[in-house]
């Protein structure tokens, strides 16, 4: 069962439940660590690993659903579809990356309502203009601070539940500097943002300045391998004053790296035997997917119901775990 702040979450699809717990958790130490998910399987693995929340990553969806870089190609419908599938399977609170809200303030209202219905606990909106780019890419353009503040107000007003969090993100720091980014962030808080994400601090001093500037606002940081920000751990970011740390792309990069290794071995050897101790067995995977629970549920209606693997499970407790 998912928990947040030590409280069991029995129905995060219930209006406002997960958002309220998430809001409370963001104000406690240590910082909440939320890996990035991009489909129901990755989300399930995050929940089973014991994380209290997860980040539905727009970039991860672009990578896995389109096999394209994060350059603004995914649609709101695609984002809602992934969010619904994850929410249907899991109870864990979902922080959903809604890019720039897919348009102006009117589009943002529609985006927030759609993602709430899909099961989002929090919606993150950034201040990029079209075309949208990943934060770590060049070529970004930005709406004016006043326009973004209008979008934040629209998001706050659109939510059906007061406990659905609105997280405002600015990607402007590497382009406009720390002072301009802080000025943007102040406007976003005044517009009603529940939390702030000032992406890509360029130095430890930038992190410290952000934390000092917003001591009463939950702050978000992103852990990205090889990024332009200093590589800090969740514990270090906690000490600096950050409340939410996302690892938005770590899991998809790990999956891609393992896929490359496996496919190279399969092509070389005509078999995956050389990696067998690093792979889940058929039985182990099905247990993680809930085969036993589904079988138990089936027997409630039909005592003769059978659903079990015909493949050997003797090695399920080996390296495949």
Cα distance from N-terminal residue to C-terminal residue, the chain: 20
Residue 182 has pLDDT above 80, yes or no: yes
Phi then psi for 95, rounded to 5 degrees? -100, 115
The model's pLDDT over 70-127, given as tens digits with 9 standing for 90+, comes to 998 999 999 999 999 999 999 899 999 999 999 999 999 999 999 999 999 999 999 9
Any idea what the Cα angle at residue 245 is, between residues 155 and 214, rounded to 5°?
Answer: 65
Pick from 178-182, 268-272, 301-305: least confident: 301-305
Report cis status (omega within 30 of 0) of the bond before 308: no
Residue 319 has pLDDT above 60, yes or no: no
Model confidence, pTM? 0.90
Residue 162 has pLDDT above 70, yes or no: yes
Residue 165 has pLDDT above 60, yes or no: yes
289-305 average pLDDT score: 86
Residue 267 has pLDDT above 80, yes or no: yes
Helix (H, G, I), strand (E, B) or coil at 123: strand
The model's pLDDT over 197-245, given as tens digits with 9 standing for 90+, comes to 999 999 999 999 999 999 999 999 999 887 778 889 999 999 999 999 9
pLDDT of res. 13? 46
Residue 12 has pLDDT above 60, yes or no: no
Share of the chain above pLDDT 90, in %: 73
Confidence of residue 317 (pLDDT cuts 50, 70, 90): very low
Provide the token pair at 180.
């301009």
Provide the token pair at 200.
């890509």
DSSP 141: -
Distance CA 281, CA 301 (A): 29
pLDDT of res. 85? 97
297-309 average pLDDT score: 83
pLDDT of res. 321? 37
Residue 289 has pLDDT above 70, yes or no: yes
Q: How many helices (H) and strands (E) does the chain have?
A: 13, 10
Q: Domains (ranges, CATH) in the chain?
A: 3-248 (3.20.20.60)
- Average pLDDT score, the chain: 90
Helix axis angle, 105-118 to 145-158, nearest 10°: 40
pLDDT of res. 196? 98
The model's pLDDT over 32-64, given as tens digits with 9 standing for 90+, comes to 999 999 999 999 999 999 999 999 989 999 999
Report cis status (omega within 30 of 0) of the bond before 17: no
Distance CA 171, CA 181 (A): 8
93: left (phi over 0), alpha (psi -120 to 50) or beta: beta
Instruction: Please report the DSSP string for 168-232 in residue order.
Output: EEE--HHHH-HHHHHHHHHHHHHTT-SEEEE----SHHHHHHHHHH-TTS-EEEE--TT-SS---
Distance CA 112, CA 81 (A): 14
Q: Which residues pair with 220 in a beta bridge?
A: 197, 244
């Amino acid at each position: 069962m998912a928990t947040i702040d030590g409280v069991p979450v029995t129905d995060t699809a219930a209006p406002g439940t997960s958002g309220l717990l998430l809001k409370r958790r963001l104000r406690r130490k240590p910082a909440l660590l939320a890996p990035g998910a991009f489909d129901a399987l990755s989300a399930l693995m995050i929940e089973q690993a014991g994380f209290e929340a997860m980040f539905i990553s727009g970039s991860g969806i672009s990578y896995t659903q389109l096999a394209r870089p994060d350059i603004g190609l995914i649609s709101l419908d695609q984002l809602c579809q992934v969010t619904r599938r994850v929410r249907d399977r899991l109870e864990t609170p979902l922080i959903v990356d809604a890019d720039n809200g897919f348009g102006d303030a009117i589009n943002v209202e529609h985006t927030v309502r759609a993602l709430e219905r899909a099961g989002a606990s929090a919606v993150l909106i950034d201040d990029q203009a079209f075309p949208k780019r990943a934060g770590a890419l060049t070529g970004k353009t930005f709406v004016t601070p006043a326009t973004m503040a209008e979008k934040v107000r629209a998001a706050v007003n659109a939510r059906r539940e007061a406990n659905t969090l609105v997280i405002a993100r600015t990607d402007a720091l590497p382009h406009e500097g720390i002072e301009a980014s802080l000025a943007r962030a102040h406007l976003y808080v005044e517009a009603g943002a529940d939390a702030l994400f000032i992406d890509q601090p360029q130095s430890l001093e930038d992190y410290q300045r952000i934390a000092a500037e917003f001591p009463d606002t939950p702050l978000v940081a992103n852990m990205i391998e090889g990024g332009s920000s200093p590589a800090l751990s969740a514990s270090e970011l906690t000490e600096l004053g950050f409340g939410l740390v996302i690892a938005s792309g770590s899991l998809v990069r790990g999956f891609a790296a393992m896929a490359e290794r496996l496919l190279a071995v399969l092509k070389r050897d005509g078999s995956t035997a050389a990696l067998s101790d690093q792979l889940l067995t058929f039985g182990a995977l099905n247990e993680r997917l809930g085969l036993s629970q589904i079988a138990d549920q089936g027997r409630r209606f039909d005592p003769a119901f059978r659903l079990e693997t015909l493949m050997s499970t003797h090695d399920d407790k080996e390296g495949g775990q």
